[in-house]
Amino acid sequence: MLRLGIDVGGTNTDAVLIDGDRVLGAVKASTTADVTGGIVTAIGDLRQATGFDPAAVHAVMIGTTHFINALVEGERLAQTAAIRFGLPATRALPPLVDWPDRLVTAIGGHSHLCHGGHEYDGSPIADFDEAEFRAVLDRAVTAGATSFALSSVFSPVNAEFENRAAEIIAEQLPGAPVSLSHEIGRMGLLGRENATVVNAALRGLADQVATGLLRTVAEAGINAPVFLSQNDGTLMDVDYARRYPVATFASGPTNSMRGAAFLSRLPSCAVVDIGGTTSDVGILQQGFPREASTDVNVAGVQTNFRMPDVLSIGIGGGSHVVHQASGTAVGPASVGYRLAQEALVFGGTRLTATDIAVAGGRAEVGDASLVAHLDKSVVDAALRVVDDRLAEVVDRMRASAEPVPVVAVGGGSILVPEDLAGASRVVRPDHFAVANAIGAAIAQVGGEVDRVYSVVPQQRDTVLDEARQEAVDRAVAAGARPGSVEIVDIEEVPLAYLPGNATRIRVKAVGELSLGGSRA
Amino acid sequence: MTRTSAEAPAPVSPAPLTAARVPALAAGATLLGSGGGGEVATGALLLSRELAGAPVPLVPAAAQAPDTLVVHAGLVGAPDVLAERLADPDDFAHAVRTAAEVAGVRAGAVGVIEIGGLNAVVAAVAAARLGLPLVDGDLMGRAFPRIDQTVTAVAGVDPAPLVLVGPGGNTVVVRECARRLAERLLRANVLALGGAAALAVHPLPAARLAAIGVRGSVSACLGLGDRLLAAREAGGTPEDLADALEAELLAAGRVEEIVPRQDLTPGWATVTDGRTGAVVRVDLLDEYLAVTVDGVTQAAVPQIIAAVDPRGHRPLRADQLRTGGHLILLRLPPLHTWPSEADPLVGPPAFGLDLTPPPPTGPVPGGGTFSWRGGS
């Protein structure tokens, strides 16, 4: 089965062609502002390099940082109305309360409260007030809102208010994008609501990007389904991505780690991904990134997504190296993407970590004679700084006292020493520079349930089975081949300080992509 | 025993509580929650907004006129309900006013019920909304799950009048109630109010509170929070963190297994200490109850046990433990000493644990009763 994996990063667009577990080819092109230009170039380069037949491609998987970048930059965001059902509760902390002013302005600052929502046991806090909601909707539309984020207290228990409001919007404003919090986030109103508002603000952009991607792929002569990578390393159909762009946010680090696991054939390891400016270290457990236990702040907005647990330090291939009497410093300042002009080995004038790696014999990059004059004590001191800091961050991340295998990927991975403290060994797989695109290409399809159930002790197994089945069904609905779906994670947490049996159950299922039809 | 007034220095009011101090208060309160006490973040967000108007004066009970009425305010109920339904400062203000009304005196200050977890922050929200000072003290010296696990209960003081306020101003007033009934009355009514409610309880004259309350808790919490935030910046070893917090390092390792609680029967987590190879058992309900290292109990309630994520130095609540996760287990210095007769109320038996109690917390620098110095 031929898969085309594409990673659209801030600087480079990488493309890889994979057949089963063989990498047939890999290329790098420059990312363009419209996303699609870089993809066109990358696919063209890949055809030149491998001579593949576009018609033979079974699936195209794309990882992109485009949506998270749009939020960080506060640009290309839709005018979004955040409407919450919760009154008379939740008044003191209205929607957007903890957002940075800049972003509130960027999405138009439409924050509204309506009566309703539910208690933990599913009984309503207040009745649905249709007249009130219609009035709020009118005000929002008059003020210019074009995308709608609906949240409701305890909607993971009962989504009635969000669904009813969505029906009214569909009837009043046919085709208007509506994002519902119970479909997007987990328990915890503010985090779930924030994720929903972010999603709503990205809907217009998602529509454009999805259309552009489909067109680009079709124009390249590829007649295969197109998928986008999600935060957890699974795939979503490109049409699903039009409705849930927020689910792509953490796909970058996830793809890089999963790609590293695939290339090194190590399902459990530490992954060190070194770029031009930073090193990101994450942990893979059974092929999936370990998730952060605390909530994640994205562009100043607190969300309750599950994100990979990644620790970053300011050391990369382009890091400035400064040697003074007081000691040697590497980073955090970096020449970044200007490495190929500014580093000594490329004829530049700035001493960088890459120069040190070349002078220390760790890599053959550029012209080694240009760093031959460097004082050995300076080179050794700088390499020691790099080694100590990498070892420290690997040590802080690893899950057990035993040394772990370390997989080094990314363009700056030449900095990683052969012998790293805390590492049982250092693995440098082939194609390490395109691990992200490979991670996208190998992704599976997932389904998740995260909800509060009332669990009567004798019926615990029944409830768990129900949740398992729903997760499997969701994976299949998202495009997994029914026979291949496995439950990869189950979590059962009783709600604290509540009598009775309210239990939050989270089940995650993952399966192989079903490609149906004659080419499967 | 709580310290007698003869030992205490002359009361000096600490600096007022400003919005800039909220992160330190929240960080300290999370540690003092001993793994429970709820999610502090929502309360911290409310408090930051309240304090943007005017700071809240922080006063020792002993510095108040003796007959000043101090009403204790907090939030009771489930953290998950708070995380969804949030909380309203007006509800806390309404609860305090109503309790004072029943007591027949105007409230002169707001007191903290428990300095561990969300309630450390919520009392300040109530004080800010009412424009009243906050008493630098509390009734538990940490977080506890029940309203009767207080120094006031040990001193034989009944909690009523007791007021609960739910969303929309739904109000329950309990004019009189026996100590042993308070918890049951709370639970039944909180449930009817949807699983969480604003609470006002223990209206006490400042002089009485000065005699029986835990002193300096808010300052201690701020100081502890400052040290945690500084340690987080520094990012040191478990030993460094323990030193910074003046805490006892019990273990540092990986969670191997979590056995969930069954209703009121404690569950436990098994941790392997990565440095020593020791097998560590952490008993837990909604809070951490005891830490036993290679069969020897090293810490138990009412001692304050904190679990901290070694990566970001973030305190982990009992419900945030995950198999495979790493943690540093610490025993924090106590804010006060419980008398031995309080053991059935706040010791291991109160939580259904039968274990050989750990040695009392070792001598602290300077000798005598441990004394916190607040501020940074």
Q: What CATH number is associated with residue B77? A: 3.40.1610.10
Range of the domain at A456: 444-511
Indicate the number of domains in chain A: 4
In this structure, are A299 and A421 located in the same domain? yes
In this structure, are B159 and B210 located in the same domain? yes
Per-residue confidence (pLDDT) for residue A501, from 0 to 100: 67
In this structure, are B31 and B150 located in the same domain? yes
In this structure, are A290 and A420 located in the same domain? yes
In this complex, the residue of A90, A290, A495 whose CB is nearest that of residue B80 is A495
Q: Closest approach of chain A CAs to the CA of B351, in angstroms?
A: 14
Q: A260 in a domain, yes or no? A: no
Tokens of A35: 């996303």
In this structure, are A23 and A166 located in the same domain? no
In this complex, the residue of A88, A98, A187 whose CB is nearest that of residue B84 is A187
Question: Contacts of residue A194 in chain B, CB cutoff 8 Å?
Answer: none
Q: Do A498 and B81 touch (CB under 8 A)?
A: yes
The kind and range of the H/E element at A320 are strand A319-324
Per-residue confidence (pLDDT) for residue B6, from 0 to 100: 46
**3 state SS of A260:** helix
In this structure, are B191 and B256 located in the same domain? no
**Alpha helices (H) in chain B, listed in sequence order:** 22-32, 40-51, 79-85, 89-103, 118-130, 151-154, 179-192, 206-212, 217-234, 238-244, 343-346
Best CA proximity match to B35, nearest among B270, B288, B255: B288
Q: A47 in a domain, yes or no? A: yes
In this structure, are B136 and B249 located in the same domain? no
Q: B9 in a domain, yes or no? A: no
Q: From its phi and psi, is residue A287 left (phi > 0), alpha (psi between -120 and 50) or beta?
A: left
Residue of B nearest to A97 (CA): B45
Indicate the number of domains in chain B: 2
Q: Do A504 and B312 touch (CB under 8 A)?
A: no
Q: From its phi and psi, is residue B56 left (phi > 0), alpha (psi between -120 and 50) or beta?
A: beta
In this structure, are A364 and A406 located in the same domain? yes
In this structure, are A72 and A89 located in the same domain? no
Q: What is the CATH number of the domain that holds A425?
A: 3.30.420
Q: For all residues of chain A together, what is the average pLDDT?
A: 88
Q: Closest approach of chain B CAs to the CA of A286, in angstroms?
A: 12
Are the CB atoms for B122 and B45 separated by under 8 Å? no
Residue of A nearest to B320 (CA): A293
Q: A519 in a domain, yes or no? A: no
Range of the domain at B51: 19-217
**ipTM value of the model?**
0.85
At which of A369, A399, A433 does a domain end? A433
Q: Which residues of chain B have pLDDT under 70?
A: 1-12, 359-376
Q: A439 in a domain, yes or no? A: no
In this complex, the residue of B90, B191, B260 whose CB is nearest that of residue A492 is B260
Per-residue confidence (pLDDT) for residue A291, from 0 to 100: 80
Per-residue confidence (pLDDT) for residue A520, from 0 to 100: 33
In this structure, are A70 and A117 located in the same domain? no
In this structure, are B151 and B71 located in the same domain? yes
**Alpha helices (H) in A88-243, listed in sequence order:** 101-106, 130-142, 160-172, 181-184, 189-201, 203-219, 238-243
Using the Cβ of A499 and the Cβ atoms of chain B, whether some distance falls under 8 Å is answered with yes
Q: Do B85 and A311 touch (CB under 8 A)?
A: no
Q: Which residues contact B367 (CB under 8 A, 6 or more apart)?
A: none
Higher pLDDT, B230 or A238: B230
In this structure, are B27 and B88 located in the same domain? yes
Tokens of A201: 């603000």
- B304-308 and B315-316 strand pairing: antiparallel
Best CA proximity match to B93, nearest among B123, B137, B60: B123
Q: B169 in a domain, yes or no? A: yes
In this structure, are B177 and B302 located in the same domain? no
Q: Do A88 and B168 touch (CB under 8 A)?
A: yes
Total length of chain A: 520
Are the CB atoms for A62 and A184 separated by under 8 Å? no
Q: A355 in a domain, yes or no? A: yes
Are the CB atoms for A504 and B319 separated by under 8 Å? no
Q: A182 in a domain, yes or no? A: yes
In this structure, are B121 and B269 located in the same domain? no
Q: Closest approach of chain B CAs to the CA of A110, in angstroms?
A: 20
Q: B90 in a domain, yes or no? A: yes
In this structure, are A304 and A424 located in the same domain? yes
HEC letters along A138-152: HHHHHCCCCEEEEEE
Rounded distance between C-alpha atoms, residue B16 and residue B30, angstroms: 21
In this structure, are A282 and A419 located in the same domain? yes
Rounded distance between C-alpha atoms, residue B313 and residue B241, angstroms: 8
Angle at B41 between CA A494 and CA B194, to 5 degrees: 50
Rounded distance between C-alpha atoms, residue A195 and residue A297, angstroms: 10
Best CA proximity match to A414, nearest among A342, A347, A360: A360
Among A4-13, A50-59, B118-127, name the most confident range. Answer: B118-127
Rounded distance between C-alpha atoms, residue A257 and residue A261, angstroms: 6
In this structure, are A230 and A161 located in the same domain? no
Q: B8 in a domain, yes or no? A: no
Rounded distance between C-alpha atoms, residue A504 and residue A464, angstroms: 11
In this structure, are B195 and B249 located in the same domain? no
In this structure, are A87 and A161 located in the same domain? yes
In this structure, are A361 and A426 located in the same domain? yes
At which of B217, B244, B274 does a domain end? B217
Angle at B352 between CA B347 and CA B354, to 5 degrees: 75
pLDDT exceeds 50 at position A410:
yes
In this structure, are B179 and B248 located in the same domain? no
Per-residue confidence (pLDDT) for residue A516, from 0 to 100: 53
In this complex, the residue of B42, B78, B194 whose CB is nearest that of residue A496 is B78
pLDDT exceeds 70 at position A300:
yes
What single-letter DSSP state applies at residue A32?
-
Q: A112 in a domain, yes or no? A: yes
In this structure, are A20 and A128 located in the same domain? no
Per-residue confidence (pLDDT) for residue A519, from 0 to 100: 35
Using the Cβ of A286 and the Cβ atoms of chain B, whether some distance falls under 8 Å is answered with no
In this structure, are B202 and B58 located in the same domain? yes
